[in-house]
Amino acid sequence: MVDSNTHPTLSTRREMLRLFAGGAAALGGAAVFGWRDASAARVWCQKDPAFLINGRLLHVYVSGSNQLDEAVTGPTEVVLEIPYQGVEANFIWADEGFGGLGYDVRIVAVDWLEVDPSGAIPFAVKTFVSANEDMAIQVEAVHEHKNGDKSWEDQRLGRTNRTVKLTGKL
């Protein structure tokens, strides 16, 4: 998923390795010990609302265990904060969301963000996944360029029932 010009930070890679280690260990144990039922292995799914900000495409990937589909108690909340002046943003697409419960999407213009002199547009994304248990999630903000290349603007590990905030520039 990462093109040759952009790479997640080393600390993020370590966090991702820790996050996925449980699933890899369960799958590895199933292979080594010949377990027929590897249902304890973690399988991850990714959900994807997208925004168009001054003609620039931003994906917000929210990922979690496939068990999250059963644990969610409401739509995934996604709040996109953009500069108050000189920026137009639209919510353009989303999949069905975790558990088929969709999204509660808001776009908020704030005065604490400003387009910088180079034309880069800063943004903040806040996500909240409500669930009946505490589960790991990962949230990524990915800029898809017009040529199809993608750059990871920010990514964070978080938990259900807690706000995860990302920031970046397009």
Pairing of strands 56-65, 44-47: antiparallel
User: What are the residue ranges spanned by the domains of the chain?
Assistant: 43-169
Cα–Cα distance, 62 to 114 (Å, whole number): 26
Cα–Cα distance, 112 to 135 (Å, whole number): 32
Mean pLDDT for the chain overall: 79
pLDDT in the model for residue 47: 74
* Per-residue pLDDT tens digits for 118-142: 999 999 999 999 999 999 999 999 9
pLDDT in the model for residue 32: 32
* Per-residue pLDDT tens digits for 58-105: 999 999 998 999 999 999 999 999 999 989 999 999 999 999 999 999
pLDDT in the model for residue 43: 52
Cα–Cα distance, 106 to 125 (Å, whole number): 10
Strands (E), the chain: 44-47, 50-53, 56-65, 76-83, 89-93, 103-110, 122-128, 136-144, 150-159, 164-169
